[in-house]
Amino acid sequence: MKINSPPKILFLSTFPPTQCGIATYTQDIISAITDVFGEKLACEICDISDNTDVNHNVHFTINPTLKSDYTKIGREINGDNTIKLVHIQHEFGLFGGTYGNYLLGFLDVLKKPVTFTFHSVIPTPDKKLMAFVKLLISYSNSVIVMTKKSKKILVDDYDINENSIACIPHGTHNVNYENTQNAKRKFNLENRTVLSTFGLLSSGKSIETALKALPEIINHTPNVLYLILGKTHPNTLVNNKDDYRDSLELLVKELKLKNHVSFINRYLEIDELLDYLKATDIYLFTSKDANQAVSGTFAYAMSCACPIVATAIPHTNEVLSINEGILVPIEDSEQMAKETIKILHNNTLRESMALSAFEKTRASSWNNVAIKQIDIYKKSIDESLKTTFNYPPIKLNHLKNMTTALGIIQFSKISEPDINSGYTLDDNARALITMCMHYNVFKKSSNLLFIDTYLSFIERCQTEYGTFINYVDEHNHTHIKNDYVNLEDSNARAIWALGTVVSLKEHLPKTFVTRAKLSLLRSIPWMSNILSPRAIGFVIKGLYLYNSADKDNNAISIIKKLSKNLISNYDVNAIRSWNWFENYLTYANSVLPEAILYSYLVTGKDSYKRVAIESFDFLLSKMFINGHFKVISNQGWYKKDSIPSKFGEQPIDVSYTIQTLSLFYKTFEDPMYKTMMQTAFDWFLGKNHLNQIMYNPITGGCYDGLEKTNVNLNQGAESTICYLMGRIIMEQQKTVSSIKLFQQKKATMKASFRLSNK
């Protein structure tokens, strides 16, 4: 075994270039595990193939028809100590022998923990099949199925202990929500109403059901185009003859559908396939297999926001509600036509179905499936399987997409900016801070345009009195909300942002720094009079940053005065079991101990240091419980002497906690703070009560909230900015750690050199 070799999960499965659903499934889950966990966990393939020359990227291959191969390869796998678990993708037809019983030879010799994923679960088995499945499962530590129906069949029909069965849905690709009309432009289909079906063609797909429904659909919607996406399944070709496709093409001719049907007769790469699905107005699922436990094609269509008319098989029966589509009897072309016309006739219904389908399948993204499967592995492996999340690339795509010439738009509908929501000073101040942080790390000149935009918005919001308005509508008019909403917190965030710009005067263009400084100085008269504790915290942060670049006794004086106000709040409210500044914990709580620590760094007062540590320790005790990070719920907040709510978590608090932990770590170099930073940031990556990622891997956007049973998929400015703040801090931390490690190695080498020369 190589030193520092990562633990491995071995997948026993077909694998590309083999073209079948299970091969694609395995490739996708391995890619997801690699994306989520990086190099700390490796995946390996044992390919089930009778062509050993096909795949040179795998270490093990089993010829499914050679019984001796199973025991031989099983023993070879035993010899690799880095392999910690074997995950078998099971389909009866993959393995040789009756019911695929050659697999038993492999299981008999294998000395590794085993997990099964059953891609087919056959109901009402005879005695032989039941006995065989129970024997297979007896070798395993856990079983994964993809639907609740499959789990019920294993429990009721096979008498399998339900505690050993995990239900993890078929994975779906991360897809950026896109208007169907926009997606059609890629294929010059703007003037067509698009229906589609995809997958490797075989008679079980029953494409003829949709073709026979088309004439009636065309009578209602003459511009319909039905796309049949995908090549023929290799197993259905006999002597290179494609009888099934030939029969479909003949049916198209008989029904005079030439101008309404298009065969895309090739294996589509995933990006092109997803683009076709996003361009689809209604997806027609036509399978006639009444026992089909799961369909990847159906799952992919839902994930691309396709309203669906589907034949009723176990998977569609379980997953497809009236909110996402309509079920029809198998091979019932008349009913398929009727229901398709119903959806085409109602644009509002079609759009709501699309959105509901998209939202429902976010929980089953491949990243989320990978997180759930790793949890299953950990329970199956005797020794602790240590995994750490891989930090995703920092992407500003969504942040930039939300930004116009005026500033950053407040809200989005999924990932599409909602210009009607207007703009806020809050969001543009945070966006300015984030873009400055990013520029400071990466020095990308393209950031400067956005820094200018956000800084200009802050200047636009400043009044003649030095204060700021917060709300600006989509037409750049001052919103009436500014007249009746408390603006202290938003004004204070502007000071934080302006101080950030000034603090980077050695890196940013001089004009930016001068503009920020002038705006900040115009605000000096009102700063000392603010009362909101969080506003005090933001102003202290901003003034500390400003003073770090331009020493200013007036700024220090304001910091001292505001700090006394916070300390007074603490003295009034803090008791032995509640070391806090108020009688409740709400949002952005960590900015309060952070502000007091900044005050200590300015004044050197030990009492400030004590309160900063004491209050932050108290807050951390409410957010880090048994090694798990929980955000203070926004459902009623957390009041003294009350039981806190468990759900309703927002990214803003995760980000602010990371920011404060970063300052405490820099100040005191206590590794506990660094560990907590990583744990808190892991909340974004899926270490939360739903085990779901909270960011959009495609654009770098962040979802607005984590609720009890679902993620709020809207990606507004606040959540996206807060995620990026946290991500950039973790990147800075990684850079600092690398520098420290280099310095330590350099010092060790110097010491060794000196000793060798004595």
**Start-to-end Cα distance in the chain:** 38
Q: 711 pairs with which residues across the strands?
A: 706
Q: 172 pairs with which residues across the strands?
A: 365
Residue 250 tokens read as 């003949």
How many Cβ atoms sit within 10 Å of the Cβ of residue 466? 16
Mean pLDDT computed over 530-551: 96
The string of pLDDT tens digits covering residues 478-521 is 999 998 888 999 999 999 999 999 999 999 999 999 999 999 99
- Residue 150 Cα to chain centre, angstroms: 27
The secondary element (H helix, E strand) that includes residue 13 is strand 8-13
3-state helix, strand, coil split of the chain in percent (to 5) is 55, 15, 35
CA distance 118 to 96: 17
CA distance 68 to 46: 15
The answer to whether 567 and 533 are in contact (CB under 8 A) is no
Residue 673 tokens read as 């703070």
Q: Given a cut of 70, is residue 704 above it in pLDDT?
A: yes
Q: Given a cut of 70, is residue 367 above it in pLDDT?
A: yes
CA distance 307 to 149: 23
* Angle formed at CA 15 by CA 170 and CA 44, multiple of 5 degrees: 90
- Residue 434 Cα to chain centre, angstroms: 20
pLDDT (0 to 100) of residue 292: 83
Residue type for position 336: M
pLDDT (0 to 100) of residue 1: 43
Residue type for position 184: K
The string of pLDDT tens digits covering residues 611-655 is 999 999 999 999 999 889 999 999 989 999 899 888 999 999 999
What percentage of the chain reaches a pLDDT higher than 70? Answer: 95
pLDDT (0 to 100) of residue 98: 93
DSSP label at 633? Answer: P
The residue assigned the tokens 């005050």 is: 599
Mean pLDDT of the chain: 93
The answer to whether 226 and 193 are in contact (CB under 8 A) is no
Confidence band, pLDDT 50/70/90 cuts, at residue 4: low
Which residues, 6 or more positions from 120, have their beta carbon under 8 angstroms from its beta carbon? Answer: 90, 91, 92, 291, 293
Of residues 48 and 40, more confidently modeled: 48
CA distance 545 to 385: 42
How far, CA to CA in Å, does 619 sit from each of 496, 625, 644? 22, 11, 13
pLDDT (0 to 100) of residue 487: 94
Task: State whether the Cα torsion 425-427-428-434 is positive or negative.
Answer: positive
The string of pLDDT tens digits covering residues 61-107 is 999 999 999 999 999 999 999 999 999 999 998 999 999 999 999 99
Name the region of 142 (left: φ>0; alpha: ψ -120 to 50; beta: rest). Answer: beta
pLDDT (0 to 100) of residue 736: 63
**Domains of the chain from N-terminus onward:** 8-167 (3.40.50.2000), 180-364 (3.40.50.2000), 397-742 (1.50.10.10)
CA distance 756 to 398: 56
The string of pLDDT tens digits covering residues 712-739 is 999 999 999 999 999 999 999 876 655 5
Q: Given a cut of 90, is residue 608 above it in pLDDT?
A: yes
Q: Given a cut of 70, is residue 139 above it in pLDDT?
A: yes
Confidence band, pLDDT 50/70/90 cuts, at residue 266: confident
Q: What is the DSSP string of 336-402?
A: HHHHHHHHHT-HHHHHHHHHHHHHHTGGGBHHHHHHHHHHHHHHH-SS-----PPPPP---HHHHHT
Rg (CA), the chain: 30
CA distance 337 to 14: 37
pLDDT (0 to 100) of residue 18: 86
What percentage of the chain reaches a pLDDT higher than 90? Answer: 84
